[in-house]
Homo-oligomer: A and B are copies of this chain.
Amino acid sequence: MDKAEKVQQLCVKRGFFWGAYEIYGGVAGFLTWGPNGVILKRRIADYWRKFFIDKHGFVEISSPDIAPYIVFEASGHVEGFKDIMVTCLKCNNKYRADTLLNEKGINVSEALGPAEMLSIIDEHKVKCPNCGGELGEPGYFITMFQTTIGPYAGSKGFLRPETAQGMFTEFKRVFEAERKKFPIGIAQVGRGYRNEISPRQGPIRLREFDMMELEMFIDPQDQRCPYFDSVKDEELNLYHRIIKEKGELEYETMSAEEAVDKKIIINEWMAYFMVMAQKFMETLGIPRNRQRFHEKLEGERAHYATQTFDQEVYLSRWGWIEVSGHAYRGDYDLLSHIKTSGRDLYVDRKLDKPKKVIQTTIIPDPKKIKDKYPRQIGRIMKFLREEDSWKEELVDKGYINITDEITLDKSFFNIKTEEKKIWVEKFIPHVVEPSFGLDRIAYTVLEYSYTEKEDRVVLSLPYIVRVFDCAVFPLVDSGEFNMIARSLYNELIDAGFRVIFEAKDSIGRRYARIDEIGVPVAFTIDGRTLEDSTVTVRDRDTWRQYRLKISDALVFLRELFRYNSFTKVVKMMKLESVD
């Protein structure tokens, strides 16, 4: 049994996660997170919020999972968010073409088109892995879940494949509610959905998953990051385009500053978030040498990105796997929504000195318009008042069409051009996006925490993502022991800790059980407790035990989670070892 399988078995047994809908044979790509998994994920998300949001004064929003068709048409997803699918002509099984070929040992890039896939399939005489049948012609499959909003067949919608579009469509409202603070980071922790063709890879490739995404809106003319100085000497493992294009397989390590100076990373904000992401995963127990940033080349990148680095961690079964993506989206998204919606999603830039601009004022002449279109005048004036986009059109083309029947050329307007001094100009913010996959991170944390010791499993979860704070055990299940244990339990619960109480089973089995869910500490009430009011305190990771005054248990826990080191707190509190 490989490690990934052991980890997954433990996760089922101890209620971290399992494949959803098992009673109906399961549905690939869907997980249920059980009682311990829910806490683990919440701890990771809360830590992420502290690390990426609160610390910088950024804000979080929550927009809907379902979006109308136009949103993902505007964003380019309808056109760009698709995989190449190939269908067996005999058994009708469907495969993602690149996965199928890669599994046959034929290395293909995600960047290839259907025609190229077909010629590779033909060249290597690839058959259906299920029945050996001929494969049909490859074609595109949109990997978004489609639905219909309301009872009108025309009201198509999608489940969002990323939360990010919410930050773009709702940008103006958030920006205004935050009183136009700029630059502004807008985050969302929420669900994303991708209708994968045939996901395998258990917890790694999901059709429904939780994301933690931050869209950092910045001024393209000022791409400096005020936090960069504090991290610029940190080293990053970069598997960047230059070494990739040389065909090398190993990443290169360099400081964040060097990477920005050499233009390997596009700007300081990108580099800053990459350093932060690396620290984040390190705190969650993934050593730096098991992390790298993998730059995606043109064609491998999503359609909206000018530069993308995937933060990858090394997993025992699946190799290098993305846990976060760092994309420079530029003005792609806001510009697309401006174009499609016709709305003003610009931000004001205050200028240090005034700028001279040629300003064109266009004022409709209602009299002339009325003369030509006496019956439609109301409608026309309303249009001219409420819309804005016609002005540009008029200047460009010399006329505008309001409807098929109504055309106005320049003679219906008074057009004045004058030079003006302006102190404020409009711009479209650029966006730097760090985007994290919560489920994959949770799985990674579980795999890296999984250890075996004397044939038993110990889940050495970093304290910061512990699912319980401690356990309280009466050594034997009897009156006085239980009473003292209950009283300690209640004290700790009242102080806000998550505590396990268990009186049944041998103490060894109870310790084994809490080790499997990674409970850092157990307090045990034993014979000596009755004599001197001390309890044993046991370390999950070393199995060593110390004696502690029962009245110090609360302090012990608080210090433990302040310093995140059992050894340190044992020393500080000068605890006597039990041997």
Contact = CB atoms under 8 A, between A and B. Distances in A.
Interface of A: 12-15, 18, 20-24, 27-39, 41, 54, 59-68, 70-71, 85, 94, 141, 145-152, 159, 166, 169-170, 172-174, 177-178, 191, 193, 195-198, 207-208, 337, 340-341, 343, 345, 498
Contacts of A38: 60-62
Contact of A24 (B41, B169, B173, B193): B169
A20 B63 contact: yes
The 5 nearest A-B residue pairs measured at CB: A15-B177, A35-B59, A23-B341, A33-B62, A32-B63
A14 B177 contact: yes
Contact of A65 (B170, B177, B191, B345): B191
Nearest to A25: B341
A22 B173 contact: yes
Given A147-B159, A173-B34, A208 B65 contact: yes
A570 to B, nearest CB: 26
Contacts of A141: 151
A185 to B, nearest CB: 11
Contacts of A27: 68, 149
Nearest to A18: B173
Contact of A193 (B12, B31, B66, B498): B66
A250 to B, nearest CB: 37
Contacts of A34: 59, 61, 170, 173-174, 177
Nearest to A20: B64
Contact of A170 (B20, B29, B54): B20
Contacts of A207: 66, 149-150
Contacts of A340: 24
A170 B34 CA distance: 9
B61 A33 contact: yes
Contacts of A28: 150
Contacts of A149: 27, 145, 195, 207
A147 B150 contact: no
Given A32-B173, A35-B177, A71-B24, A150 B66 contact: no
A32 B94 contact: no
B208 A68 contact: no
A173 B13 CA distance: 8
B59 A170 contact: no
A62 B41 contact: yes
A21 B59 contact: no
B64 A30 contact: yes
Nearest to A59: B35
A449 B94 CA distance: 55
Contacts of A60: 35, 38-39
Nearest to A199: B150
Nearest to A95: B151
Contacts of A21: 67-68, 71, 169
Given A23-B345, A141-B151, A32 B64 contact: yes
A151 B149 CA distance: 21
A320 B71 CA distance: 35
15 contacts: A21-B67, A21-B68, A24-B341, A32-B170, A35-B60, A36-B177, A38-B61, A66-B159, A66-B193, A94-B151, A94-B152, A145-B148, A147-B147, A147-B159, A150-B196
Contacts of A196: 150
B35 A178 contact: yes
A456 B247 CA distance: 66
A66 B145 contact: yes
A21 B337 CA distance: 11
A150 B35 contact: no
A189 to B, nearest CB: 9
Contact of A151 (B33, B41, B85, B343): B85
A93 B35 CA distance: 46
A193 B31 CA distance: 19
B174 A35 contact: yes
